[in-house]
Amino acid sequence: MDFFNTTFQLLITLLIFIITTYILYLNVKKDWQQNNPFIYMWGAVVAIYFLPTFFDILQQRMAFEYLGSTHSYNLETIMSALLYFLFFIFVYYIGGLIFEFALPLRKVDLQRIKSNDEKGVLFVVGLIGLTLFGVFILYRMFGGRVFSLGFVEARDTVPAYLTFLVQGLPKLYIGIILWLAVVNRKFLAILLSVLLTAIFFGVGGTRQNLVQILLCAFLYFVYFWDVRAYKKISIVALGILGGVLIFSISKLLRNSGSLDERLELLVAGFDVFEVLSGIGEFFVRGVYYDFIEKYSAVTEFGKMQYFLRTLLFWLPSSFSGGIKPDDFEYVMFWAFNGTLNATMHPTLPGSIFADSGPLFWCWSLLLAGVRHYVQFILSREGGIRLAVGYVAIAMSCIMIGRGALYAAILTTLFMSILLHLYAMVSELAAHRSKLEY
């Protein structure tokens, strides 16, 4: 009897997987046809959760080692997680159709990146100058010790404005590398890539900047490299699978304590077992499974703290008077690890499940609305603004797929609103110029 029950459960789980694959395909197809950067959210979800789930189903279990103990999850847990993901993406897809019916939009024309934009160049050069100024101030503050600051020490001791200048600001302009490559200024694209990589290796910081540089190369080869379709498909496949490995390697580099350690890692090579171990990209779905099993035992789960915090992104926590919830990512780390000294991003469905439980549809509609707003903004842009905006939002979408919802949605909305305001001011200036003429 147990054999038949297990076989029946396996067949039901495979059926759910097939249905989920179809709904996921519809979402990916829509984003691909419209050139929407939210397609990279799905790329991240497929790479770190959905594709590995298929092998979990075949094995009827998933297990990994973490801090000397084995975490193991059975087929019932895997099926429950998959079913929740199916409901989430189905409501997301329906929400997208409703937004498109209410406000139809044209596709994002990435070929418009090719247009010259000298004013945009000067603006971005100014932003690069601010980053270099931030590095200079860091060196004045810490001296040579700046090259040996660990990730945690830097997070706790470096002033917030310097962290923004050196780590946060580049996220907004790294896309100029794509524009430089598209308009045949490849030497400058390589030079800027080397400069930003050197800053990362020198003073450390977020791994997203390093990944974002590689994302520029990926976008160039997919959309602007004149080769046969099968080669582009190969690049996309390698980009999705290789991106997981790159994220894991960049995490090791980020967590290294000094410039010497980072260089030593590059020279000596990476320990494959170290890259594949722990709860990095290859096993983070296990945290989602863990939350499925312990949901009712964690009182902080299901209270929509993450969702409310995201809605109040515009309100600084220090001025919120307690209205804006604390960072839920620390709560998720505590729920899995038992401590509050780090954040956890347990894939897109994992973060949403822990935060909202049965109210997942709130996240589905919010993300569908943000996606539609991004489509509205980027479909009207061109030149450097389109390149910078597209790359920054695509990177944020990857982080949303990873489960880092708050900061990624904040960056997406900030960039979209910035481009929207720029377009409004430009239109107003052009209208006034015509009246004066």
Q: What is the pLDDT of residues 76-117, one digit of tens each?
A: 999 999 999 999 999 999 999 999 999 999 999 999 988 776
What percent of the chain shows pLDDT beyond 90? 43
pTM of the predicted model over 0.85: yes
Q: Which of 398, 32, 400, 21 is nearest to 233 (CA)?
A: 32
Is residue 311 scored above 90 in pLDDT? yes
pLDDT of residue 406: 94
Query: How do the domains of the chain map onto residue ranges?
Result: 111-273
Is residue 121 scored above 90 in pLDDT? no
Across the range 262-272, mean pLDDT stands at 55
Across the range 350-360, mean pLDDT stands at 95
395 in Cβ contact with 171 (< 8 Å)? yes
d(CA 351, CA 278): 18
- More confident: 140 or 253: 140
d(CA 73, CA 156): 36
Q: Which of 375, 385, 370 is nearest to 421 (CA)?
A: 385
- More confident: 306 or 147: 306
Q: Which of 162, 121, 149 is nearest to 254 (CA)?
A: 149
Provide φ and ψ at 188, rounded to 5°: -65, -35
Kindly state the greatest CA–CA separation across the chain.
86
- More confident: 150 or 173: 173
Terminal C-alpha separation, the chain? 86
- More confident: 19 or 214: 19
Is residue 253 scored above 70 in pLDDT? no
Q: Side chain identity at 414, as an amino acid letter?
A: F
Strands 69-74 and 61-66, sheet pairing = antiparallel
pLDDT of residue 273: 47
Is residue 248 scored above 70 in pLDDT? no
d(CA 400, CA 155): 22
d(CA 197, CA 205): 11
Q: Which of 348, 273, 356, 353 is nearest to 307 (CA)?
A: 356
pLDDT in tens, 26-64: 999 999 999 999 999 999 999 889 999 999 999 988 887
pLDDT of residue 295: 92
d(CA 277, CA 259): 23
d(CA 252, CA 377): 35
pLDDT of residue 393: 95
pLDDT of residue 155: 67
pLDDT of residue 317: 74
